[in-house]
């Protein structure tokens, strides 16, 4: 079975042009089949604030009203996605930028039935990801670059957590490829002490997750990240790593960052 590496990039790596340039060079150098998934929350938040629209977050997840949906669509599917694709092309990586609506690659369902009204937020299920479309793009030698905008199949765009997209794509593609999932951000991994960059937790088992949330080691945006990481492992993804973007080569081989275990 061929190998596939799915990289999710986020945090202030996207906000910093120098860091992003270096990451995309490392990403281009990775051998084999690969897919890049990105968010861009900080840029979306800054644009919202400049327009007088308050950004609302709950446990690391964005509340998406109609005005916010317009902003994140412009930022994620437009500005950030096409900027990344253009840079990858310049580095010799034949990338293709996609939202979930393009090629019907990711179909979501609007979140309902929760105590909190998340607005135009899309949830995914096992049938959400088109492995046919992604598989065809990979076989054509293209590198899919997926943003955090999905659709419901009835003309409505939805905002879906990029960590969730990366996990769902990894699970779906594991039926075709020996798939590993790598979450890249600005920290060296999951830190025991947020103020100590060297306090990396090298391995986390699924049954340790609740305890890490309870003692505050895992909080905010790390909660959905680890939740999705363990979901991916449980559903057949070969390996999941979390760590610093500028150590991508070591991270993708398991020699750096935090590794998720069953």
Highest mean pLDDT among 1-15, 42-56, 85-99, 182-196: 85-99
Q: Is 40 marked as binding a ligand?
A: yes
DSSP state of 246: G
Q: Is 159 marked as binding a ligand?
A: yes
| Residues in the chain, total | 262
Domain borders along the chain are 3-261
Residue located via tokens 């007088």 = 52
Under a CB-based contact definition with an 8 Å cutoff, are residues 64 and 121 in contact? yes
Average pLDDT over residues 242-261: 84
Residue-wise pLDDT tens digits, 103-140 = 999 999 999 988 889 999 999 999 999 999 999 999 99
CB atoms inside a 10 Å sphere around CB 40: 24
Query: 3-261 belongs to which CATH class?
Result: alpha beta
Whole-prediction pTM: 0.92
C-alpha 124/C-alpha 106 separation (Å) is 8
CB atoms inside a 10 Å sphere around CB 194: 14
Strand-strand pairing, 109-110 and 122-123 = antiparallel
């Amino acid at each position: 079975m061929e190998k596939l590496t799915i990289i999710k990039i986020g945090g202030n790596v996207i906000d910093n042009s120098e860091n992003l340039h270096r990451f995309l060079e490392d990403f281009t150098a990775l051998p084999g089949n690969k897919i890049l998934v990105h968010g861009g929350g900080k840029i979306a938040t800054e644009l919202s604030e400049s327009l007088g629209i308050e950004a609302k977050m709950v446990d690391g997840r964005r509340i998406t009203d109609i005005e916010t949906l317009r902003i994140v669509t412009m930022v994620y599917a437009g500005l950030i996605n096409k900027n990344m694709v253009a840079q990858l092309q310049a580095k010799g990586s034949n990338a293709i930028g996609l939202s979930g609506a393009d090629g019907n690659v990711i179909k979501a369902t609007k979140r309902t039935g929760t105590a909190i009204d998340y607005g135009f937020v899309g949830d995914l299920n096992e049938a959400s990801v088109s492995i046919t479309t992604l598989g065809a793009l990979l076989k054509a030698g293209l590198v899919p670059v997926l943003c955090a905008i999905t659709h419901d199949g009835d003309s409505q765009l939805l905002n879906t957590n990029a960590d969730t997209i990366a996990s769902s794509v990894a699970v779906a593609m594991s039926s075709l490829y020996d798939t590993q999932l790598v979450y890249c951000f600005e920290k060296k991994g999951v830190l025991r002490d947020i103020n100590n960059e060297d306090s990396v937790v090298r391995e986390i088992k699924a049954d340790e997750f609740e305890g890490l949330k309870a003692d505050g080691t895992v909080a905010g945006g790390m909660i959905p990240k680890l939740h999705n990481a363990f979901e991916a492992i449980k559903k057949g993804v070969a390996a999941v790593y979390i760590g610093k973007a500028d150590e991508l080569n070591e991270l993708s081989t398991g020699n750096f960052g935090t590794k998720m275990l069953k």
